[in-house]
Amino acid sequence: MSTPVEALATTEEDLKTRILYRLMRLAQDRWRTLILIIPFTWLLVFFLAPFFLVLKISLAETIIASPPFTPMIEWVDEGIMHVRVVVDNYAYLWEDDLYVNTYLSSLKISTVSTILCLLLGYPMAYAIVRSNHTTKHILLMLIILPFWTSFLLRVYAWLGLLADQGTINDLLIALGIIDEPIRMLYTHFAVYVGIVYTYVPFMILPLYANLEKLDWELLEAAADLGAKPMATFFTVTLPLTLPGVIAGSLLVFIPATGEYVIPDLLGGGNVLMIGRVLYNEFNANVDWPVASAVAIALLLLLVLPMMLYQHIQGKETESHE
């Protein structure tokens, strides 16, 4: 008979193999769960949880401490839990004109920019779809190329163009069109230019994808039935490409609302956008609860468009099946 020590040894090895075997079986049967669980957990931890954190902090008070906000749950003598939730920050947002104006200004700027992107992007996308094969490829490449270059540097380029001693003013003065340089930098105009410049490819690509799938015979049928080109566009083309229009618009509107770099670099202190305010609140004022409240409020503003976008994306993938 084997000694207890030897017996123990065999069971240990046995245990290891058994565990390994169990794991392998688990992998085989539940490989689907494994595939899912890795990205799922990552997103839970690094995407979802942080939002709840922001929410929690937005409901706290600012204090001089590290971290500079009051904890939500405090244990006070003999295990009594004290929960402190403060909604002052939201009230502050609502009452302070600066915040309300900034939100409104951000929405206004992003809406106008979206419309401008649409007005420029739609004809461009249309023109690309209608061009011949090789030209199409080249044009698409031209549209995509800026997208892959540094966004920051391209916005920076406008600094040089829009400055008082910048290229555009120089050109206009040289051509004799104006005598004094026009104030372009650090104005709303500059921000609009910057946003349209940066986001127009995001408008063109979904529109292009949508237009590509359009059945051109439909336009011919409409013409055959007596519709003039303008009428055909508004009654046939536009309704059919509406999903692309909406997708492109959301892709511009939602991120543009929270833009930071463009209003900071091109707008200076004159253009109020919520992204800048949030950043400053956080860094300059070290007012985390307020910054968090600003973020949550922005999120609430954008939640409907975001859900709309997701809904459209879902329908897109469905229509492929």
Partner 1 sequence: MNNGKRSIFLLSMLSFGIAFLYVPMIMLVIYSFNKSKIVPIWGGFSTKWYGVLFESPEIWEAVSLSLRIATVNACFATILGTLAGLALVRFGQFKGRTLFSGMISAPLVMPEVITGLSLLLLFITLKEFIGWPDQRGFTTITIAHITFSMAYVAVIIQSRLAGMAQDLEEAAQDLGAKPLRVLTDITLPLIAPGMLAGWLLSFTLSLDDLIIASFVSGPGAVTLPILIYSRVKVGLRPDINALATIIILVVAIGVVTAGYIMLRQQKQRERDLKMTAEET
For position 98 contacting partner 1 by CB under 8 A, the verdict is no
Kindly indicate which of the ranges 32-40, 81-89, 210-218, 236-244 contains the residues binding partner 1, using the contact rule CB under 8 A.
32-40
Provide, rounded to whole angstroms, the least separation between the CB of residue 260 and partner 1.
Answer: 6
Provide, rounded to whole angstroms, the least separation between the CB of residue 188 and partner 1.
Answer: 18
CB 293 within 8 A of CB 89: yes
Scan residues 141-160 and list those touching partner 1 (CB under 8 A): 141-146, 148-154, 156-160
DSSP notation for 119-134: HHHHHHHHHHHHS-HH
Provide, rounded to whole angstroms, the least separation between the CB of residue 49 and partner 1.
Answer: 6
Spell out, one character per residue from 65 to 94, where the chain touches partner 1: x when CB under 8 A holds, - when not: --x---------------------------
By the 10 Å C-beta count (0-12 exposed, 13-18 middle, 19+ buried), 196 is classed as: buried
Tokens encoding 131: 């061009």
Closest CA to 262 of 193, 203, 200, 182: 193
Provide, rounded to whole angstroms, the least separation between the CB of residue 123 and partner 1.
Answer: 4
Angstrom distance (rounded) from CA 159 to CA 162: 5
Distances (CA, A) of 155 to 47, 181, 194, 221, 278: 28, 21, 6, 44, 21
Spell out, one character per residue from 162 to 201, where the chain touches partner 1: x when CB under 8 A holds, - when not: -x-xxx--x--------------------------x--xx
**Helix (H) or strand (E) segment spanning residue 82:** strand 80-83
Residue of 23, 53, 218, 286 interacting with partner 1 (CB under 8 A): 53
DSSP notation for 186-235: TSHHHHHHHHHHHHHHHHHHHHHHHHHT--HHHHHHHHHTT--HHHHIII
Scan residues 109-138 and list those touching partner 1 (CB under 8 A): 120-121, 123-124, 126-128, 130, 134, 137-138
Residue of 7, 15, 19, 43 interacting with partner 1 (CB under 8 A): 43
Scan residues 264-303 and list those touching partner 1 (CB under 8 A): 264-265, 275, 278-279, 282, 288, 291-292, 295, 298-299, 302
